[in-house]
Chains A and B, each alone.
Chain A
């Protein structure tokens, strides 16, 4: 099993190999994809990539939290959180690929 960490650079390298654009343009396109996805999520939209997964924004209500170290109560403000639900295909591929 792996344990390597891929970054934007690896994604743009893959685009560069696949399509044969310049490295510079490949990395700009990776950036554009992430920017469009982020912008849609910030607008509150769901981003649904078939056979990959779905990113959704959920509203969390305000609650009283506790500092686990001091036991002190701290108010937690209402906030929006992002959740990712992997597609069945991704789950299957990740499960199969990491099977011992």
Chain B
């Protein structure tokens, strides 16, 4: 499933909404999650999962081609943990 298929499904279920509003709704949801993580916030969606930011410490990396040591700065990366309900559903449990 890709973004446009998701938009299509929601549009079909909501014939009273303009397609462009459905697009804005779906885009707003993903935009809001990314914005939250960019601020260092968590987004917890019970049953689905939680988005959070993890810190990766600075380290000495290596250029795999030349073997040269390079300093890699500390950085923050997005992280997703699957919610319990979804994890159970993936494995045929629950409901």
Interface residues of A (CB under 8 A from B): 1-8, 10-11, 14-15, 18-19, 21, 26, 29-30, 32-34, 36-38, 40-42, 45-53, 55, 57, 79-84, 86, 89-91, 93-100
Contact = CB atoms under 8 A, between A and B. Distances in A.
Nearest to B82: A82
A19 B25 contact: yes
Interface residues of B, number: 48
Given A14-B32, A52-B33, A81-B90, 15 more contacts: A8-B45, A11-B45, A14-B29, A15-B25, A18-B28, A34-B47, A42-B89, A46-B1, A49-B3, A82-B86, A94-B53, A94-B77, A98-B38, A98-B75, A99-B75
Contacts of A50: 2-3
Nearest to A80: B90
Contact of A32 (B10, B43, B46, B76): B10
B25 A5 contact: no
B21 A93 contact: no
A39 to B, nearest CB: 9
Given A18-B24, A36-B6, A91-B77, A97 B38 contact: yes
A5 B41 contact: yes
A36 B1 contact: yes
Contacts of A57: 90
B34 A4 contact: no
